[in-house]
A and B are shown apart, each in its own frame.
Chain A
Amino acid sequence: MYYRTNTAYTREVVDLRLFINPRAALPIYQQLVDQIKSAAASGLFPPGSKLPSVRELAGQLAINANTVARAYSILEDQGVILRKQGVGTFVAERSVHKDISPLKQALNQLLVEAYHLQVTPEELEKLFQEALKRWNKRKEE
Chain B
Amino acid sequence: MDFAIETQGLSKVFNGRHVLKGIDLQVPPGSIFGFIGPNGAGKTTTIRLLLGLLQPSSGQAKVLGLNSQSESIQLRSKVGYVAEENHFYPWMKVEELVRFNAGFYPRWDQERARKLLEMFDLQPGVKVRELSKGMRAQLGLTLALAHRPQMLILDEPTSGLDPVWRRKFLQILTQETADDETTVFFSSHILSDVERVADWLGILINGKLRAMRSMEDFKYNERVVRVVFQHPAPESLLATDGIKSIQRQGSGYLLTITENFDEIYRTLERTPHFVLEAVEQDLEGVFLDYAGEEENDV
B168 / chain A contacts, CB cutoff of 8 Å: 6, 9-10
Asked whether any CB of chain A lies closer than 8 Å to the CB of B121, the reply is yes
A positions within 8 Å CB-CB of B: 3, 6, 9-10, 22-25, 27-28, 54-56, 58-67
Number of residues on chain B facing chain A (CB within 8 A): 31
Bound: A58/B171 CA distance, A: 7
A20 to chain B, nearest CB (A): 8
Q: List the 4 shortest-distance A-B pairs measured between CB atoms, nearest first.
A: A59-B175, A65-B178, A25-B280, A55-B178
**B175 lies within 8 A of A58 (CB):** yes
Interface SS of B by simple majority: helix
B positions within 8 Å CB-CB of A: 30-32, 119, 121, 163-164, 167-168, 170-179, 192, 195-199, 216, 219, 280-283
With A9-B171, A23-B195 as contacts: A59 and B164 at CB distance below 8 Å:
no
**B119 lies within 8 A of A58 (CB):** no
B167 / chain A contacts, CB cutoff of 8 Å: 9-10, 62
A64 / chain B contacts, CB cutoff of 8 Å: 32, 174, 197-199
B163 / chain A contacts, CB cutoff of 8 Å: 10
Bound: A58/B219 CA distance, A: 20
| Closest chain A residue to B177, Cβ basis | A65
Q: Name A59's contact: one of B31, B178, B282 (CB within 8 Å).
A: B178
| Closest chain A residue to B197, Cβ basis | A64
A10 to chain B, nearest CB (A): 5
B102 to chain A, nearest CB (A): 23
A62 / chain B contacts, CB cutoff of 8 Å: 167, 170-171, 173-174, 196-197
**B219 lies within 8 A of A27 (CB):** yes
A58 / chain B contacts, CB cutoff of 8 Å: 174-175, 178
Bound: A24/B219 CA distance, A: 9
| Closest chain A residue to B115, Cβ basis | A3
Q: Name A60's contact: one of B171, B179, B192, B219 (CB within 8 Å).
A: B171
**A23 lies within 8 A of B175 (CB):** no
**B178 lies within 8 A of A54 (CB):** yes
Q: Name A6's contact: one of B121, B173, B199, B282 (CB within 8 Å).
A: B121
B172 / chain A contacts, CB cutoff of 8 Å: 59
B147 to chain A, nearest CB (A): 20
| Closest chain A residue to B120, Cβ basis | A3
A21 to chain B, nearest CB (A): 9
A67 / chain B contacts, CB cutoff of 8 Å: 199
**A66 lies within 8 A of B30 (CB):** yes
Further contacts, 11 of them, CB under 8 A, given A6-B164, A22-B195: A3-B171, A9-B168, A25-B219, A25-B281, A25-B282, A27-B216, A58-B175, A59-B178, A62-B171, A64-B174, A66-B31
